[in-house]
Each structure stands twice: as structure tokens, then as C-alpha cells.
Amino acid sequence: MNQRKDDEIVVTGIGAVTPIGTGAEGLWAGAMAGRSAVHRITRFDPCPFATHIAAEVRDFDPDAHIESKRVKRLDRYSQFAVAGARLALEDAGLRPGDVPSDRVGVCLGTALGGVGFGEHEHEQFLTKGPRAVSPILALSIFAGAGSCNIAIEFGFTGPTTANGDSCASAPVAIGNALSYLQRGDADVMLAGGAEAPLYPLMFGAFTLIRAMSVRNDDPATASRPFDKDRDGFVMAEGAALLVLEKRAHAERRGARIYAALSGSALTNDGFHMTAPRPDASASARAMRRALHQAGVSPGEVAAVSAHGSSTTLNDSTETRAIKEALGEHAPRTPVFATKAMHAHALGATGGFEAALCCLALERKMLPPTINRTTPDPECDLDYVTGGGPRPFTPGPVLSNSFGFGGINACLVFTPAQ
């Protein structure tokens, strides 16, 4: 895509609440440490289920980010969303009022929204009766509650949307924000994902379809992208949002620029609710379209941030898709998958990974892919393994997110300068 430099959409703020760290610096430090945040679940007793492990945000204090009176009106999903938004705005050096409220919008992705909170309140209803149900239930359960609560918290009146595109939700939201900015509908957009799925029924639903790892005896190695012995994903929670704006707008206010968001694309496998299309044609097409929109050729891709969910079918199919999209350049393009550390926060995870792409470009370092100890012949690309991060020369980074229902969302981030 040919566009004036001033019209480039750039990332100027990162707000993260994740199992491996809070804020841009906390997230980056957690990724660079190369350690897993997966442990036995403490939020509830997991014994009825085959899987007993998850990556919880154990140090989250909503009162540190939200006024106490407001905290009581928000469920955990919206708390994560608002906290992530505040951290992103602070990181970008933006205060409410710095930009006219009607020129700031919010795009948020989530797989489950406030459904987990609804589960909790249903239990209250069954055991204690209707009067025990929280009055905020009706206003918390829908997916749009997170984005609307961000808008309310900061008084933003620009375009505000939510999507429920499963594990691809965050990059779908980021791609939508890109479109709003390119059309001139807003000057600043907050975009990313939030998820609070760690409730018994929600958690148990994924164990019923045997999608999650049962490596309960060794939680730290349970998520193992592209490893031959992978046996499923590990669930997580949290939020990550980016501040996006046109380069000219960012430069006028003297903002630091992490990276440019140069392309996005969305396709569907049209095949199965859980299994990816075996020939990987639709996911490869999403990668090619995102690169085309960014004006990037396959040979220019400096790295790929993989979905790398650690499920048997996803990792081999994603490897096939990268090969199809990048062609002869695929074997020498570094691939990194960070879910082995922060696990899979469903609709929020693509936000974690987008943030890490931006930080990697700014800091010229690729996060490691931990736990890949037994190579899989079907997963034979240049994965960033070896126990630590890898220096690289910044160039276009392709970020993949694939969701249930066959949703394929890809983003392309390019160096700030």
C-alpha cells in the first residue's frame, strides 16, 4: 500500500495486564526472562477436570488502576479492560482532554466477555436466590461491556466497538481500529483484547473438547509450541491494548513511537469449528493479504510471531501456512511463539503478542519460544529456541492469530523509522 509517511498508523502506547507482567516493561521483562507463568489453578478447585493448570494474573489489584467505587461496578473482564486502557494511555503520555473526546475511539476483542461472571452469579442465584445476584450482572455479561466501560472511564465518545471472534479477537479489533484511523473517523484509537475465562464452567467446557494440556505434573512445560510432545493449550487471563494514531498526530505531540501498524487481514477456513483447514490455504491467504496491504514482500519479513497454541493440529498447520505464505523465504525467517510463557488468554492473547511485536521492533530482540525440547518433523522452521531471546535486525514482523470457527487474523508491524 502506498501512503504518505504522515498517514502511517503508529503504536505510541502499550497497556498490558498479563500473567508474566504488568505494563509494557513488565510484559517485556517477563518475555525476556523466558519463564512460564503456568501453575495449578488457585481461583477454584480444578479437581473435577482433566486439566488442573492455567496462567493466572496473580498480582492484579484493580484499585491500583481504577477508582474503588468504580471497581465495585465492574466484573473482572471489564477491570482488566479498563486497567489495560489506562496503562496504555499513560505509556503514550495521553491524558483525557489532550485529544477531543469525539476523536478517540475503542476497539476491543474478547472470546467470552463477562460470561464467566455470569456463571458466578448463576451459582449465587441457585444457592441463595435472586436477591443475591449482583445488580451489575446485566451490564457486565455482554462482550461490549469492556469497550464501553473504557469509553465511560475516560469520557471517549468516538467509535467504540467489540467483537467476539474467539482467539483472533484482539487482532480483529486492532485491524478495525486501523481502518477507523485510515478513514479519518478518529485521531486516536485504543485497541486490543481482554479476557477473564477462569471460572469452573467456562474452564471445564474446554476440557470437555480435549483442547487443553493435561500435563498437570509439570505445569511450567505444559505449553510447548511446535514441540512433538505438545498435547493442548493452557488457558490464561488478562488484557493488552495499544494506542494507535497517525504518525503526523503522534509527532506533533512528541510521542515515542514503538512501531507502525502497516497491514491487517482476516479470512475464514470455512471448514470446522475447532480443527484448522488441513491445507492451510485460508490462513496462508490471510498472511499474504496482510503483507500485501503493508506493501511488504515475503522476502522482507524479518520475523513471524506465531499463534503457536501448542495444540497438535494448529502448530503443524500453521507451519504449513507460513511455508505457503513466505515460500522459499520461510526456512530462514525466525518464528517465535510466546504462549509457552503467558499461555493462551483466548481473545486477549493476540493483544499480548501484538504488544510484544512492537517491543521487539523497538528493542531489536525477539522473545524466545520455550519448552520446545523434542523437534517435530512437521514443524521444521527456524523457531527462536535455545533458552533465550535472539537479537535481530528490525524489519516487518507478521503476527498470526487463529481462532475457533476457522478465524484467521494477521497483522503486520514495521519499524518506527
Catalytic residue among 52, 65, 344, 410: 344
CB 154 within 8 A of CB 82: no
Alpha-carbon distance of 295 to 142, in angstroms, equals: 37
DSSP state of 227: B
If you count DSSP H runs as helices and E runs as strands, how many of each does the chain have, helices first?
Answer: 12, 16
DSSP sequence for 318-362: HHHHHHHHHGGGGGGSEEE-THHHH-B-GGGHHHHHHHHHHHHHH
Residue by residue, DSSP assigns 42-53 as -SS--TTSS--E
Residue with cell 471517549: 156
Contact yes or no for 386/231 (Cβ under 8 A): no
Catalytic residue among 167, 357, 379, 410: 167
379 has catalytic annotation: no
Radius of gyration of the chain (CA): 20
Q: Amino acid letter at 122?
A: H
307 catalytic per annotation: yes
Is 47 a catalytic site residue? no
Q: How far is CA 72 from the centre of its chain?
A: 26
Task: Dihedral sign for Cα 291, 296, 300, 302, please.
Answer: negative
Q: Which helix (H) or strand (E) holds 402?
A: strand 397-403
Query: Which one of the listed residues 52, 65, 120, 307 is annotated catalytic?
Result: 307
**Amino acid, res. 108:** L
Which residues are catalytically annotated? 167, 307, 344
